[in-house]
Structure 1
Amino acid sequence: MRTALMNKLEQASALDPVGDKLQPKVWALLRPQRVKDALHGVWLGHPLHPALVQVPMGAWISSAVLDLLPGRRMPGQEQAATTLVAVGTASALPAALTGLNDWSWLWQEERRVGLVHAAANTLAVAVYAGSLAARLRGRHQLGRTLGLLGLAAVSAGGYLGAHLVYKQTAQVNQGAPDMHRVEYGWRRVAEVDSLPQSQLLTRRVDEVPVVVYRDGAEITVMLDRCAHQSGPLGQGTMIQVDGRACVVCPWHGSTFQLKDGKVVHGPASTDQQVLPVRVVDGVLEARLP
């Protein structure tokens, strides 16, 4: 039943008008590029949203534990629960901003689930805000009741978030699975003399497409499928960023250094995998790290 419901949600095209209007507004709001990159987690090396979510979730769950303890209220218990609810409610804003930024670069089916995920979490924040207000006024029983309702809402949002990641692979490194399709040991890539200088070429290591880039005596072999949404980097454009040659994904603009695959700009937040290389008798070879 849950699977059927989630499948229907993925195909709920009635959500598209909302998502289509919201997406460009998010792009316009979260400017400039360095803000987007910071919220994507480029500086961290993986998406920032899952890390920040732990703060409100941990605080709210901890407050629920205190609220559900049996017996008489211990000294300071109500104050501790109130503080935890306040911490969770305040920390939900940065977590929401990172999630909104990531959501704006997802595929349509993912954005549909993401909208409901965001709606559930927004409801949770509103209910927890009500719980906090009730506790501050001394109405702790009402605050506890609202807290449990808020926990139910955020748990539903968490279920949808897990579906986005584990079923729909949102913000998961899309290129990494290609590593499992390459045999161990050195694999032939191309004749070195066939590689032009400072141009992107697409070749294959076994059955896996890779981007080959030659800069003088240095040669890079990088997975072709973009870590963000599998865009073909071999069809991307080359730019210079701080004097370093980079490739820009033709689909969503993720930017990677050609020398080492380091991510420079999002929406990708993880580096692009580069393979170790060697030249033997004029033949370029690559292998798994």
Structure 2
Amino acid sequence: MPTNPRTVLRKFLARPQHEGAGAVVRRSIGRFELKYFDPFLVLDEFSVSAPAGFPDHPHRGFETVTYMLQGAVTHEDFEGHKGTIGVGDLQWMTAGKGIVHSEMPASNGTQKGLQLWINLSSSHKMIEPRYQEMASTNIAEAIEDGVRVRVIAGESLGIKSPIYTRTPTMFLDFTLEPGAKVHQPVPESWNAFVYVLEGEGVFGNSKASSTTPHHILLLGPGDGLESWNKSSKPLRFILVGGEPLGQPVVQWGPFVMNTQEEIDQTIQDYENFENGFEKARYWRSEALNQDHNF
């Protein structure tokens, strides 16, 4: 149990904006109010309906974590990897030295989810791409005293995720029944935030005002988080923490490196189809080459 609970330092609403091809995201990290929260580059709560989506695009220098809340998206890349991420499923993708992929709706209706971008240290930015994927049924869960937690990464209520995080990270999906409270340890040296998905909750101080969906809360120093559900409906939120890298960040769209020279080199590599982007020369996703008829 935390002996020095973290309080809320900043709180703001993630407002909708357009991204990709007709998709709508609520971006909380990676926008003008909060450009970077070391080691986190972007947090999007996305909503997309066919034919909108995120067609073929590159990445280098970080990881993307996709966690579906509703519906499903199909992912494919220039390495020949393809799959569908359904509700409750997880994809932890290390872009490393380079990947080109697409993320498009897999069914009718509105698909919703979260995508988190986690920075990589300079020593890991040019590693080979890799994936860790987990079906919803395989994600570890614990239930205790009106609290349910899905352990995406890290550890909670004695349950530990098998996901390997190059940049040490915790990612927990909590649901608190009315009247429930939770005490979750967080390493003192880490940065941490809460993003509210459903209901309303009290965070950091039992006398604080309630926080409603689509708000991000940046947590101050301490060794854990305390949260209460004082409402009559379930509260659902994610708690994410990570070890700061403390390194320079230079970003150009989907490329994140440490210097402008490295960004210039990345753009050159991508345009010339080399140094990790060789397969981008001839690859096009199936989604890009066909109409969506669901």
Please indicate, yes or no, whether the TM-score normalized by the shorter chain is above 0.5. Answer: no
**TM-score of the superposition, structure 2-length normalised?**
0.21
**TM-score of the superposition, structure 1-length normalised?**
0.21
Structure with larger Rg: 1
Structure holding more helix per residue = 1
Higher relative contact order (CA 8 A, sep 6+): 2
